[in-house]
Amino acid sequence: MTTKFLSPETAVQLLDLLRSRTPPPRKITKQEKRIETATVVAEKSMEQTGHVDQFSLEAIVDMKLELDLLYAKWAGELKDS
């Protein structure tokens, strides 16, 4: 789970948090729901038009990058606690 935001150490910390079933902060769950909703809308639009909406695609990618950053911050904050 390496991204441009996660160092190898932070990735290990995040995996430990997920394995321990520590619930993620509300910001993370809200972002995940926004991504899921945007993805469903984009898929339905593509089914109707036959084309991928570039704006929707870029918005989803941006939301996923923000989600990666939220996870990195969460792992980093809890590591220091």
pTM equals: 0.78
For 12, counting Cβ atoms within 10 Å of its Cβ (0-12 exposed, 13-18 middle, 19+ buried), the class is middle
Task: Kindly indicate the confidence band of residue 76, based on its pLDDT and cuts at 50, 70 and 90.
Answer: confident
pLDDT digits (tens, 9 = 90+) for 20-39: 988 999 999 999 999 999 99
pLDDT exceeds cutoff 90 at 43: yes
- How far does the chain reach from its first CA to its final CA, in angstroms? 22
Distances (CA, A) of 22 to 54, 58, 74, 75: 36, 30, 11, 11
